[in-house]
A and B are shown apart, each in its own frame.
Chain A
């Protein structure tokens, strides 16, 4: 009994400490909550994408489609039916789940690059369709109807929702990875034929990861555009969302839970340094992606792990 407790503490404590520290830093230091809110949202998106691409090896270049769909669903539902932001968020999550199922149907059986670029084509098509669709304001976009919102507590509400979403995503994915399903996910990534031969339903496992990542990105997109009260197809379906997520996961270390946290800190650190030079910042992201692929394909955390064996969120099953 005692030793199981000790083991549980050893297993969970570092992660809990890290999360509390992050939360504390984000909540108590800045007076302007916009940057920490964005950090939380981008981190959650990165974790969602990482669950799919880092843990199952299905590299998606089209997750911006969920960011935009989530945002537009929220705006449509709130503006049309006058519901609360919570119902709007729920609708956004559900819409992205359904969208992920539809996309899975179109891309069924497409592997590797065929999946990566196939979903990119879908994202571009949806962006162009929304740009033509008069009901959602076509290329002009939509402004949130604020009559049903409490504008005094609005920014705090959005911030805390973002923080909660980010923490819930981390804990949820961690729990998922420690379960049988998570083991199946990693088995599929490492060798899908072998995984299938020991009874892992590879297709269903991948679909689960895909749907979770879609819902998370949709919720994040909804919250982000809720915070600015305005959404347009060019911004919401922008490839830059995908590049940001990809950069964060790859630099930090794909297929680890720690990697995206490091990646998020590096991303926003660099962005603050290059505040006045957007092109230079993007070029630097590209250079870093190339350099990391050349010298440390596992990302920064992968490098640290291979040198030291550290794990903050141990997701591998250890024999006892």
Chain B
């Protein structure tokens, strides 16, 4: 695999990373909730999808839809039952509660499925590849990338063209005004959390289809999502997308340089960006400009 094909692969994984970040940014931007269990919901999407694929004859696309719908329900439920009781100026209670949730989900998955590395088998599509300009590209990663771009466009349309999308944006700015307009703040929050978990679980299942996962991968996925949010900036769809692509490329190229490094190079790149921002160097400003415009 040459460098060029690593970069292309990185871009395609990056679309998924962008979705991880988008989900986290949704919950944080609208409700000021830092969902520490975000990574576990991403992994939960993979486990649920794998279980559906094994138990039913449904094709992968239909499984994706099923996972999306159930993830929305789970997000809605958690916001309604648990997190709506903790909204307020103090971010700590919801952080600790979701930390608790993440421990519960992670260890329940270990208890049910064991700690081993798992992969998803979705049939012949996984092995198919095409050659573009001399670079071999898998068909599945290409389809997955297309779906992630479509999801980004979909969310953008939702936020600008629908009333619930406008309510999300209003809730992020000033929930009191939103309530005077007749919206129920808690219902808007429940829908937002449903959407956040849905995006993450769908992206999690798609990532699982092209790589592997264990009950412990959630931590890594959460940190990626968080890095996407910080690099791309909160409340910027395009920022999330490009930050995801950037991290994806760093990951895949880093793994090519050192196959045992895991997410190390992505973390280091993120920390470097944080440091550069401290000193306000023109380089980081430039990067931010490129990403945000």
Contacts and interface: CB of A to CB of B under 8 A. Distances in A.
Nearest to A54: B92
B103 A128 contact: no
Interface residues of B, number: 44
A286 B98 CA distance: 9
A290 interface: yes
A239 interface: yes
Given A246-B96, A289-B96, A283 B101 contact: no
Given A106-B275, A118-B274, A293 B107 contact: no
Given A121-B226, A121-B271, A279 B110 contact: yes
A171 interface: no
A283 B227 contact: no
A285 B103 contact: yes
A182 B278 CA distance: 28
A286 B262 contact: no
Residue from A114, A128, A288 having most chain B Cβ neighbours under 10 A: A128
A132 B261 contact: yes
Interface in A105-128: 105-110, 112-114, 116-118, 120-122, 124-125, 128
Interface string B263-293: 1100110110011001000000000000000
Residue from B91, B223, B261, B267 having most chain A Cβ neighbours under 10 A: B267
A291 to B, nearest CB: 8
A240 B226 CA distance: 20
A249 to B, nearest CB: 10
A282 B267 CA distance: 27
Given A106-B274, A128-B264, A289-B100, A121 B92 contact: no
Report, as a range, how many residues of chain A touch the other chain.
35 or more
A149 to B, nearest CB: 33
Contacts of A83: none
B263 A293 contact: no
B34 A283 contact: no
Interface string A123-155: 011001101100000000000000000000000
Given A118-B274, A121-B227, A293 B96 contact: yes
Interface string B96-140: 110111111011101100000000000000000000000000000
A150 to B, nearest CB: 39
A116 B95 contact: yes
A116 B91 CA distance: 11
A122 B271 contact: yes
Q: Please classify the interface of chain B as helix (H, G, I), strand (E, B), loop, or mixed, using the class held by over half of its residues.
A: helix
B264 A132 contact: yes
Given A59-B92, A293-B93, A116 B34 contact: yes
A57 interface: yes
Interface string B193-232: 0000000000000000000000000011011001100100
B85 interface: yes
B104 A286 contact: yes
Interface string A231-266: 000000001000100100010000000000000000
A61 B38 CA distance: 15
Contacts of B222: 117
Contact of A282 (B91, B107, B223, B270): B107
Nearest to B85: A294
Given A246-B96, A282-B107, A290 B101 contact: yes
A157 B264 CA distance: 38
8 contacts: A106-B271, A113-B91, A120-B223, A286-B100, A287-B104, A289-B97, A293-B97, A294-B85
Given A117-B34, A121-B271, A289-B97, 16 more contacts: A107-B274, A109-B278, A114-B230, A118-B230, A118-B274, A121-B223, A122-B271, A124-B219, A124-B223, A125-B268, A128-B267, A132-B258, A285-B103, A290-B100, A293-B94, A294-B85
